[in-house]
Copies of this chain bind each other. A is one copy, B any other.
């Protein structure tokens, strides 16, 4: 989905399905909670419930990692935590840079879950000279001019983009040129990257629209109305269609959360 292409032609087997990879962090979180409560083992049924998936799926997922369970008993919590952590690459340190320290960037910098699990905020970068030097979450913000230098001297391979949409592609290009190969994009834009670079996006607006779709569907079902061709409300649509234009300032973008 967000993964440009997994890798070259065909790597030797051991291919864990993308859908499974996306669930491993979920299992890991549930397992960590169990570990804290010193629970020694879990059944696929219990763990699945804690992670919000069904047990067959969980067992199939784990089968791609190997046979780490014991029939009739379940899985050893500590051991599974270890195996999943290793599989996800969390046994090493990942220095991360956050570019765009607006409301959202600051929120991300303060995010506790960031620091845990091997992710370390190596630097905060912003284009606003007024921000430079000011500490956010205890880390001094650095100017965009330093970007390449920071990436290279810290060996950063993961970058988080929290800039306005208008600046995202440009920032992305610089990150990639400097050596970043994985990007988490919060700006509402499609980023173009060369092969070999992974991009994942988080887009509030898209999530809300998906919810609205289902919400509308529920409402229609309730009153028994088929959402066929009822003519709609053109006026309302016209408003929606021009909404984007409205928030666009003279030079293309108005800051805000992701924006700004």
Contact = CB atoms under 8 A, between A and B. Distances in A.
Interface in A172-227: 181-184, 188, 190, 192, 196, 198, 200, 202-218, 221, 226-227
B247 A112 contact: yes
A40 interface: no
Interface string A138-160: 00000000000000000001100
Nearest to A243: B116
Contacts of A96: 208
Contact of A91 (B117, B184, B233, B248): B233
The count of identical subunits is 2
A186 to B, nearest CB: 9
Contacts of A82: 232, 234, 237, 241
Contact of A116 (B192, B216, B240): B240
Interface string A233-260: 1101100111111111000001011111
A216 B226 CA distance: 49
A35 B63 CA distance: 49
B202 A204 contact: yes
A54 interface: no
A55 interface: no
Interface stretch (A67-75, A100-108, A126-134): A100-108
Contact of A103 (B35, B107, B203): B107
A107 B104 contact: yes
A92 interface: yes
B257 A212 contact: no
19 contacts: A21-B210, A25-B205, A32-B243, A86-B237, A90-B209, A92-B216, A103-B106, A103-B107, A108-B204, A111-B257, A113-B205, A117-B209, A118-B212, A118-B236, A182-B214, A183-B211, A184-B211, A198-B215, A202-B202
Given A91-B236, A104-B107, 6 more contacts: A28-B209, A88-B216, A117-B243, A157-B215, A184-B208, A202-B202
Interface of A: 3, 6-8, 11-12, 14, 21-22, 24-26, 28-30, 32-33, 35-36, 50-52, 78, 81-82, 85-92, 94, 96, 102-104, 106-119, 157-158, 181-184, 188, 190, 192, 196, 198, 200, 202-218, 221, 226-227, 232-234, 236-237, 240-248, 254, 256-260
